[in-house]
Amino acid sequence: MAEFGIAAPSVKVAGNKPATATGKALSVVALRKTYGDVVAVDEASMEIAAGEFVTFLGSSGSGKTTTLMMIAGFCEPDSGTITVGGRDVTRLAPQKRNLGFVFQQYLLFPHMTVQENVAFPLTLRGVPKDEIRRRVGETLEIAGLSGFGGRKPRELSGGQQQRVALCRALVYRPPVILMDEPLGALDKKLRDQLQVEIKTIQQELGLTVIYVTHDQEEALVMSDRIAVMRNGLIEQFDTPRELFERPKTPFVADFLGAANFLPGRIDKHDGEHTLVRLTQSGTLLKARRHDLPSGTEVKVAVQPGRLRACATDDGFCTGTVEMATYVGTLVRAGVRIDGGDGPLVRLEVPAGRGPVAGERVGITADADDVNLFPTDEKAG
């Protein structure tokens, strides 16, 4: 049965990798939650390995918090199972699940010092005083907060308060830590700094983290794998690179890289490649091999950073540069493709080699960077 003690007090703190019986830190099978007619989470399934940093990424209302709250035990699923370290916790109370939490609001106890706040989970678990002092000291040091133990939360900056909240979750070494937009209340510079700090602590201690954000850059920076959520469904669960380079749906292609979408039709297959006739320009474009029959109407998806401007004879189509914006290391250009109306094709090219407004250009891409989606699939 469930034990209350959780991490034994004698466990060595720094560098202690939380081990699980199966190597799987957490698994979720067909988790579902409805509120009346709203399906907040629809049959979510995933397996997370010990030591992995996984992020739920999606727009507002996509079901990220609901999924996390079901894992945490604060929200009861309609159906499905949750296993932590090989143990079914689906019907267990939150405090029996052996998980740590960090929320967007720090939720520190205002009347307690930093030391007392961080000690709280250990005090609750009856850990001896000496042991508490030692472990709180070690944890504060990891988070760069040594010397702040005697202060009250109101005497700290937002970033420091969030680090205290992180320490409170870390201090009893739960094998899995859940974080719901923990940096949401902080300004950009502090967010960037704490992203790196959280990631460093996670790697040094071998923690398993499930992190929620709607900021795609944050997700890309921090995660080993990202679950892209949409309307309660996990659209794709993959590494950042796979999501970016091999999106399984137009939604993922758009959400992660703001892909260009050009209408076309499969012309033929040629060895490793698939040739697509672009509707607007009538020209042919080479994509990596896709198993769609000739004649299939497709959306051609290419990330702006994977397109290049070239001589008009060399590209898969030609056009006129309508705008070119210098943004530091990059030039963002919008090209009006020849042959009828269509949205501007967006390019991001290294500054210095960027095209200028009014210039006639060809556009090219490596076949491997061109993704195709059947047009009749659900829209992005």
Rule CB under 6 A: which residues touch ligand ATP?
A: 35, 38, 40, 58, 60-66, 214
Q: By CB under 5 A, tell whether 62 contacts Mg ion.
A: no
- The two most distant CA atoms of the chain are separated, in Å, by 77
Contact predicate 348/331, CB 8 Å: yes
Query: Which of 58/159 has CB closer to ligand ATP?
Result: 58
Q: Which residue has the tokens 């937009």?
A: 181
State the pairing for strand pair 176-180/208-213: parallel
- Residue 178 Cβ vs Mg ion, minimum distance, rounded to whole Å: 12
Q: Which residue has the tokens 């033929």?
A: 268
The token pair at 374 is 């059947």
Query: Which of 58/362 has CB closer to ligand ATP?
Result: 58
- Residue 90 Cβ vs ligand ATP, minimum distance, rounded to whole Å: 18
When CB distances are held under 5 to 8 angstroms depending on the partner's kind, the choice from Mg ion, ligand ATP, none that residue 63 binds is ligand ATP
Give the SS3 label for residue 350: strand
- Residue 194 Cβ vs Mg ion, minimum distance, rounded to whole Å: 19
Query: Which of 235/348 has CB closer to Mg ion?
Result: 235
State the pairing for strand pair 273-278/317-327: unpaired
Q: How many chain residues are in contact with Mg ion, going by CB under 5 A?
A: 1
Contact predicate 170/142, CB 8 Å: yes
Give the SS3 label for residue 173: coil
- Residue 180 Cβ vs Mg ion, minimum distance, rounded to whole Å: 6
Q: By CB under 5 A, tell whether 55 contacts Mg ion.
A: no
Contact predicate 120/112, CB 8 Å: yes
Q: Which long-range contacts (CB under 8 A, 24 or more apart) does 268-272 make?
A: 268/294, 269/294, 272/367
Q: By CB under 5 A, tell whether 213 contacts Mg ion.
A: no
- Residue 162 Cβ vs ligand ATP, minimum distance, rounded to whole Å: 17
Among 65, 83, 161, 216, binds Mg ion (CB under 5 A): 65
When CB distances are held under 5 to 8 angstroms depending on the partner's kind, the choice from ligand ATP, Mg ion, none that residue 58 binds is ligand ATP
Q: Which residue has the tokens 């996509």?
A: 62
Q: Which residue has the tokens 């719901």?
A: 180
When CB distances are held under 5 to 8 angstroms depending on the partner's kind, the choice from Mg ion, ligand ATP, none that residue 329 binds is none
Interacting residue ranges for Mg ion, rule: CB under 5 A: 65
